[in-house]
Every structure is written in structure tokens, then in C-alpha cells.
Chain A
Amino acid sequence: MEIFSHLGIGIEAAFSFSALLNCLIGVTLGTFIGVLPGVGPLATIAILLPVTFSHEPTDALIMLAGIYYGAQYGGSTASILLNVPGTATSAVTCLDGYPMAQQGRAGVALFITTIASFFGSFVGVILVAGFAPLLAAFALQFSAAEYFSLMVLGLIAASLVGRGAPLRSVAMVVVGLLLGIVGIDVNTAEFRFTYGVMELADGIHLVIVATGMFGVAEIISSLVRPPERRVASRDITWRSLLPTREDMRRSWGPMLRGTSIGSLFGALPGTGSTIASFIAYATEVKIAKEPERFGRGAVEGVSAPESANNAAAQTAFIPTLTLGIPGDAVMAVMIGALMIHGIIPGPRLIVEQPSLFWGLIVSFMIGNVMLVILNLPLIGIWVRILSIPYSALFPSILVFICVGVYSIRNSAFDVLMVVIFGLVGYGLKILRFEPAPLLLGLVLGPMMEENFRRALLISRGSAWVFVERPISAAFLLSTVALIAWITIERIRGRKEREAEA
């Protein structure tokens, strides 16, 4: 069996001391920042990216990925106890998690979310192990034209389906693409958009944009509107964790459905864990026999979204690792991390870097087991972390941002750039532009141009190459269909609103 030899490679890679240590650091940190409202996985991964430069690529990825899925576990803790989502992906968990805490059932809610998270993640990992190699084998026949079209589809999908107004999001993608090609043009060695500033010659580093727009800007807006903190329950005893038989019976169905929904939406470009958790919740409400129980502490309202967002967090790695197409902004940063280590994500990754791919898969499993241990017996620690005041937290984040960015290449200019992107990020937030699509564009910009040029070179300048090749045409057609669908939905929505008014 091929899969066993692969897993063997993975086990070897993931059970090395440094890999285990990085996995533990990653998931612990992930839970920590997941629990804390106001610090998201994206900013954390971006800040820690420079720290991992000196690591082996596999270890670096294991740690960064651990932060991502660890945050999915931690996020629900704040939702349940504070009614403030620790991460955007567990926003729905507030709806029933907080009422449960108010009824003195916080422990049960925490237990169920951890079990649901573990279940969702585990299924997600198995799907990654099963489907990623298949998808990669299929993608091997892609040429430059297919890649270009796939990136168009990915970017459009991400900006249309995500939060925020579609036109603005697409505009942000284009701005991101433009930012992505700043610097020396690889084909002609010409300087573009540098305006004589030598520091820009190497391009704008992903970490700078990400920490500026998601770190600094986030801090500023949190300070303008400080998050409210009222802990519903401080004492979580062992006994209070245990759910009743009724709770467990009610949770299985939602967990299975949530996991399926999450796995599907995680793997699709443009939809991530946040959307998956919302859809999972909505599905439960729709099929419930007594929908009025939701919003008043229904167990199903906790287990479905939590299994969905964790499953999605794992399956999101399928397109990221096999196609090099990130589904959301966090995955874009992951791709950036791979490229910094000189690894080009794409269909060849699994074949050329088997220990990285399979090591990552096995580390997901180890990490999830660690997370269950971290989240059940040690829950008391995380509850106490909720009482760290923001006034102590944000200066610490600032220090990490400063030192992290400076350490990329010992450049004070880079730190000043963070200020600029922080200001821009806050400005965009006020103007209701979503920064996430910009980040996607930034990562994909150079790759997209490269493939665009190569496709045209092969076809001797004929732009028809993108529609003559069937797979490429299918991608472009899906893009057009998606745009048409969203436009029709919008117009219909507007008419309905006008009819009501």
C-alpha cells in the first residue's frame, strides 16, 4: 500500500524532536491567540514568519499551520465565555455558546466544542491525505494558461464570496496584484514602481503588508472601539465539563453535517472556515425540529459550526499545497512562507517534497491530539488568559511586529513601511474595503504575471490560448458564471429591498 509508505515518511518527519516541539509551540500559541479576542491567526502567523526563516521548511510550516488550526480551537472559548468571538471563525458559536454559559453550562459547551473541533479536524486531515495527491496528479497536466485562468477564478471567487461589497473586494485584489509586482521585473530586470527607492527593488515583503494591515490597523480599530469583556463563568471544574447523555446524542448529527459542510467549503477557493461555520449553523436551524431552541443555548448550535470551521481549516490546505492557490488570506501567508523557504507550492510539491507534505499531514494529527489535551484538562489556564487586559496586550503585539519586521533583513525602512500599511489598512477599514483580498492578490501577483507571460510566449502572442485549452476555458467560464450569478443575486436583492421600502 502506497499510502502506508507515504505515512511512514510523514511519521519520520513529524516525530523528530524539532518537529514535535514546533508543533507544540504552534498549537499552544494558536490556542492562546485564539482565546484572546483582538489577535487573529493571520497577524500572528505574519509576525512569526520571520522567526521561522532559520528553521527547516517542514518545521516552519508545522508551526505556522499549528497556529492556524490551534486558533480554531481557542476561538470558541472566548465566544462561549465572553460572547466575543476569539477569532472570526467562531463568531457563530457565540449565538448558542454564550447562552449555555449563562445557564451555567459553560463547561459542557467547552467540552462539546473541543470534541466537535477534534472530530472535524480529523476528518479534514484524512480528506487532505486522500484528495491532495489526486488533485495534484490532475493538476500536473496544467500549463501556464491553466494556471493563469485558475488564479483568475480563485481570486474572483475569493473576493465575490467573502465578506464585504463585491466590487470593492475585486478592486482590492487588483491593488494587491499591483503591489505584488513592485520591484525588479524578473524577465527584463527593469525596475517597476520603485520611484528610485532602492529598498523597494526586492518588492514589498508579504510580512510588512500583513502585519501593517492586519496587525497595526487591527490594534488601532480595537482601541477606538474597545472590545467589551465580561466573563460569564470563571470556575470551570472537571465535573462541569461532562456533558449529559442527551447533549452527546444531540451533538452527533450536527457534528457529521458540520464536518461535511466544512470540508467542502474549506477546499473551495474563496470560501473559508468563517463562511463554513455560518452555513453549518444555518443548516442546523433549518433542519431542526424545534428551531426556536437555537439562540438559547442549543448544543447543536455549538457543535455544528465548531466542527465545520475546524474541518475547513484543514481542507483549506488541499488547494494551497497542491495548486498553490490560497483560499483565504491566511493560506496566502502560508504560500508566502513556503516561497520564502524556496518551495513552490503546486502539483509537484507532494512528489518533490514528500517529507514536507506527509510530515505536515502527520503533524496535523499530532497537533489535534495535543489540542484536545490543551483544551480539556488545561482549560482553566485559558480561562484565566481571558482576563489579560488589552492595555498590556497591544503594546506587546507592537513589539513583536517591530522586531519581527526588522529582523527580516535588518531594515528600518521596512518598519516604516509597516506604519504606512497600518495607516492604509485603517483607512480602508473606515471606507469599508476588505483587506483580505488585497493580500491574496499580493501573493499571487508575481505568479499570475509569470504564467500570463509564459502562456502568451508559448502561444506566440495569441490571447486565444486561454479559451482554446479546455481546462483553462472551463475555469474562465466558471469565473464568468460566478460573476453573473452574484450580479443577478445583487440586483434581485436590491429590488426586494426597494419593494419592501
Chain B
Amino acid sequence: MIALAAVAIREGMAHDLGRMANIGPGFFPLMLGMILAVLGAAILFVRETVPEDLADTLAELRQALRPLLCICGGVAAFALLIGRVGLVPATMAVVVIGGFAWRDARPMPVLLLAIGLSAFAALVFRIGLGMPMPLLKGF
């Protein structure tokens, strides 16, 4: 069911995108859009073998909630912090937030890992490879 809905949404999007530009630069996208629409419809009707049923998928999704939130939150935190406070705090943030995606994560090991990894990142990327990013900013 979810598969079908997603395909339908994508199909709709593909149509819009295809017609956006005029003939020159729009022709190729339009062509692709139409192919995708046909494929989307085909997937709807043909129903290739999808082994798991809805209940299983939902159960997996419920389990996936914590990793999803932590991992994505961690990476997003890195994105928001790196420009403002520099590499070291941003690395700490991604490890601490992301680290709790592990079901049995405890604060101390995660914190230690965060310190270790941010030191490592600072050494390798800033000093070793000379990437232009400040380690610490605004303090």
C-alpha cells in the first residue's frame, strides 16, 4: 500500500517537472517524465513480488524510528553547527546525537567516543589534510 502511494506521488511530481521548461531544455525531462509515469502505472498494475505485508513493514518502521531520528538529527545538527561554532563542537554533536541511535547506548561510552572522534577529525581533516574549516569559532 505504501509502495503504491509513493509511486503515485512520484508519478504526479514527474508530470509537473516534465512540463516545466520550454521545448529546448525541457524536452529531455519531459521524455523522462512520461517514461516514469508509464513505469509508475505499470508498477501499480503489475504488482511485482513484494514479500512483506503491511504489518511487517509497519513494525519495522516503528523500530526504525529511533535510529531515523537520531541519525538524521545528528547529521542535521552537524550541518547547523559547523558554520557557526566550528568543527569540534559539530563533530561532538553528531556523535552524541547519532550515538543514541544504538538501542543499548549509554552516556559515558558515547561521550568518550565523541571526544575521541572530534579530536581525530580535528587532527586528520584540519591538520593532516589542511581543510579550510575552523576548529572552534566564536569562543
Contact = CB atoms under 8 A, between A and B. Distances in A.
Interface class of chain A by DSSP: helix
B99 A395 contact: yes
A390 B101 CA distance: 11
A341 interface: no
Nearest to B14: A178
Contacts of A412: 79-80, 82-83
Nearest to A172: B39
B76 A416 contact: yes
A165 B49 contact: yes
A391 interface: yes
B8 interface: no
A415 B93 CA distance: 14
Contacts, number: 170
Contact of B113 (A193, A392, A406, A452): A392
B39 A171 contact: yes
A406 B133 contact: yes
A223 B61 CA distance: 12
Contact of A224 (B26, B67, B131): B67
A106 interface: no
Interface string B15-50: 001001100111011001101100110110010111
Given A178-B17, A190-B21, A415-B82, A430 B61 contact: yes
A394 B63 CA distance: 18
B121 A399 contact: yes
Contact of B133 (A181, A192, A391, A410): A410
A40 B104 CA distance: 24
A337 B15 CA distance: 32
B75 A398 contact: yes
Contacts of B53: none
B64 interface: yes
Given A223-B67, A224-B67, A431-B2, A395 B113 contact: yes
A188 B132 contact: no
Nearest to A441: B32
Contacts of B74: 398
A192 B75 contact: no
Chain B CB count within 10 A is highest, among A226, A402, A426, for A402
Interface in A147-175: 165-168, 170-171, 174-175
B25 A395 contact: no
A419 to B, nearest CB: 5
Interface in B81-136: 82-83, 87, 90-91, 94-95, 98-99, 101-105, 109-110, 113-114, 117-118, 120-121, 125, 129, 131-133
B101 A223 contact: yes
Contact of B90 (A181, A402, A410, A419): A402
A64 to B, nearest CB: 16
A234 B46 CA distance: 49
B22 to A, nearest CB: 8
Interface of B: 2-3, 6-7, 10, 14, 17, 20-21, 24-26, 28-29, 32-33, 35-36, 39-40, 42-43, 46, 48-51, 57, 60-61, 63-64, 66-68, 71-72, 74-76, 78-80, 82-83, 87, 90-91, 94-95, 98-99, 101-105, 109-110, 113-114, 117-118, 120-121, 125, 129, 131-133
Given A193-B17, A193-B20, A220-B64, 18 more contacts: A166-B48, A178-B32, A219-B71, A224-B60, A226-B103, A394-B98, A399-B91, A399-B94, A402-B91, A403-B91, A403-B121, A403-B131, A407-B133, A410-B133, A415-B79, A416-B76, A427-B6, A430-B57
